[in-house]
């Protein structure tokens, strides 16, 4: 190779590196009450799709995707300033852990030892307790990958934190792929047997956050069965067929079509707030659910390796939170597809296990894929 060719090659390599690098930027977003710096990472893919993620709670604060005419809107609920996230009781955009969803009475027994967790949802434990993974500062660094811009976040949850055994390390990588996917890769390890169930808690509104309720979104869920609960949203232990119930989303159906039916399970959840048992083999990446908004043409598909998906229709939003565009988020202004293991698994030996053994590495991936249709 002559000198000219080598320098051309170098310029080319440099240009590519700069272009790829420009896809992730970092800016200060605020400070926690104890003075820790919070940064916002902006990921932008080759099509201009943009996600903003912060190192507090590993929270996705914004996700801008095009509608069928190429107009970008932010399709996740959230706040415009950091301080509002300190009172983020709906868990907007967060990574929830150590155990996403509920553990009955905050108790479970592992290796003959009973562990007592905080009860922060009536008599039950919800989303990791008083200070779950959504309320801690993660260590973050940006990555440039072949698939697209990414940010890697790590959190070490100490032995005994919120009552859980074991030093547990959670690693979450968000990649905004050039296929317009927000891909979440989880890697979890522990130095002592424990339980875990991390999930992602974005509230979506494909018509744009702040644009009203999501009842006209048309949803499909790839599940023949769901996990019925008692009045406190704790599983009864049964995996029930969706056939003939308002929980049958095997064929596309508007969220609002049956949500007010006289159905005990809908009453217990105040709407949909249940886990569906995704068809196919847990551990294998498969189609979980899709949502379509006819006004914008936006489609979101959810793919996961997890056994279940909690479909929550924002039943407890009540207008007391003001969102990014200055509008109050009312009941059912967003919905969540939280891919996860079933609630209260530590107390249901028949459910897929949420026990992570000392020295084991747990890996899991979930993809939210965006597209449009006419
Ligand atoms: C739960 C809801 C809860 C919401 C916010 C969802 O994952 O299933 O019951 O209200 O999170 O905490």
The residue-averaged pLDDT of 96-109 equals 98
Ligand 1 first shell, C-beta below 6 A: 90-91, 233, 273, 310, 312, 316, 338
Q: What is the pLDDT of residues 316-341, one digit of tens each?
A: 999 999 999 999 999 999 999 999 99
256 CA → ligand 1 middle, Å: 18
Q: What is the pLDDT of residues 356-370, one digit of tens each?
A: 999 999 999 999 999
Percent of the chain at pLDDT above 70? 94
Percent of the chain at pLDDT above 90? 94
In this prediction the pTM is 0.94
Q: What is the pLDDT of residue 15?
A: 43
Task: Decide if pLDDT at 11 tops 70.
Answer: no
Q: Which residues on adjacent β-strands are paired with residue 31?
A: 37
Q: What is the pLDDT of residues 338-357, one digit of tens each?
A: 999 999 999 999 999 999 99
Q: Which of 337, 240, 242 is nearest to 287 (CA)?
A: 337
Task: Decide if pLDDT at 6 tops 60.
Answer: no
Task: Decide if pLDDT at 7 tops 60.
Answer: no
Rounded to whole angstroms, how far apart are CA atoms 244 and 352? 26
Best residue for ligand 1 mutational test, from 91, 93, 124, 135 (most atoms within 8 Å of Cβ):
91
Residue whose pair of structure tokens reads 């424990």 in the numeric block:
194
Task: Decide if pLDDT at 4 tops 70.
Answer: no
Q: Which of 198, 142, 124, 146 is nearest to 168 (CA)?
A: 198
The residue-averaged pLDDT of 243-261 equals 98
How sure is the predictor about 313, in pLDDT bands with cuts at 50, 70 and 90?
Answer: very high
Q: Which of 201, 217, 274, 341 is catalytic?
A: 201
Task: Give the closest residue (by CA) to ligand 1 atom 8.
Answer: 273
Task: Decide if pLDDT at 16 tops 50.
Answer: no
Residues found in the chain: 374
305 in Cβ contact with 184 (< 8 Å) = no
Rounded to whole angstroms, how far apart are CA atoms 322 and 300? 24
Task: Decide if pLDDT at 221 tops 70.
Answer: yes
Task: Decide if pLDDT at 288 tops 70.
Answer: yes
Which atom of ligand 1 sits closest to the CA of residue 199?
7
Query: With helix as H, strand as E and coil as C, how does the chain read?
Result: CCHHHHHHHHHHHHHHHHHHHCCEEEEEEEECCCCCEEEEEEEECCCCCEEEEECECCCEEEEEEECCCCCEEECECCCCCHHHHCCCCCCCCEEECCECCEEHHHEEEECCEEEECCCCECCEEECCCCCCHHHCECEEEEEECCCCEEEEEEEEECCCHHHCCCCEEEEEEEEECCCCEEEEEEEEEECCCEECECEEECCECCCCCCCCCCCCCEEEECCCEEECECCCCCECCCCEECCCCCCCCCCCEEHHHCCCCCCHHHHHHCCCEEEEECCCCCCCCEEEEEEECCCCCEEEEEEECCCEEEEECCCCCCCCEECCCCCEECCCCCEEEEEECCCCHHHCCCCCCCEECCCCEEEEEEEEEEEECC
Q: What is the pLDDT of residues 145-163, one digit of tens each?
A: 999 999 999 999 999 999 9
- Is 123 noted as a catalytic residue in this protein? no
Q: What is the pLDDT of residue 20?
A: 42
312 CA → ligand 1 middle, Å: 7
Task: Decide if pLDDT at 14 tops 60.
Answer: no
Q: Under 8 Å CB-to-CB from 235, ≥6 apart: which residues?
A: 227, 228, 229, 275, 342, 343, 344, 348, 351
């Amino acid at each position: 190779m002559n000198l000219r060719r080598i320098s051309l090659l170098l310029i080319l390599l440099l240009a590519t590196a700069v272009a790829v690098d420009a896809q992730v930027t970092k800016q200060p977003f605020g400070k926690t009450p104890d003075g820790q710096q919070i940064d916002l990472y902006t990921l932008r893919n080759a099509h201009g799709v943009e996600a903003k993620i912060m190192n507090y709670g590993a929270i996705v604060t914004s996700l801008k995707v095009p509608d069928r005419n190429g107009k970008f809107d932010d399709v996740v609920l959230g706040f415009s300033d950091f301080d509002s996230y300190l009172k983020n009781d709906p868990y907007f955009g967060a990574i929830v852990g150590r155990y996403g969803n509920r553990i009955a009475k905050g108790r479970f027994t592992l290796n003959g030892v009973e562990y007592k967790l905080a009860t922060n949802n009536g008599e039950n434990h919800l989303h990791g307790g008083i200070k779950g993974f959504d309320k801690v500062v993660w260590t973050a660094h940006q990555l440039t990958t072949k698939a697209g811009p990414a940010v890697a976040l790590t959190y070490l949850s100490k032995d005994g934190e919120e009552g859980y055994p074991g030093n547990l390390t959670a690693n979450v990588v968000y990649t905004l792929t050039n296929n317009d996917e927000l891909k979440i890769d989880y890697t979890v390890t522990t130095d002592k047997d424990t339980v875990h169930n991390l999930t992602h808690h974005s509230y979506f509104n494909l018509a744009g956050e702040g644009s009203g309720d999501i009842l006209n979104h048309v949803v499909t869920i790839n599940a023949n069965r769901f996990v019925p609960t008692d009045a406190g949203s704790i599983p009864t232990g049964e995996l029930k067929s969706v056939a003939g119930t308002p929980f049958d989303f095997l064929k596309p159906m508007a969220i609002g079509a049956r949500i007010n039916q006289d159905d005990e399970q809908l009453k217990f959840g105040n709407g949909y707030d249940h886990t569906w048992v995704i068809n196919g083999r847990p551990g294998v990446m498969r189609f979980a659910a899709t949502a379509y908004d006819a006004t914008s043409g936006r489609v979101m598909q959810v793919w996961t390796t997890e056994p279940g998906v909690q479909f929550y229709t924002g039943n407890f939003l009540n207008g007391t939170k003001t969102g990014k565009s200055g509008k109050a988020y009312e009941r059912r202004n967003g919905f969540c597809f939280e891919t996860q293991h079933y609630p209260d698994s530590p107390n249901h030996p028949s459910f897929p296990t949420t026990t992570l053994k000392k020295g084991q590495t747990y890996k899991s991936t979930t993809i939210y894929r965006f597209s449009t249709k006419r």
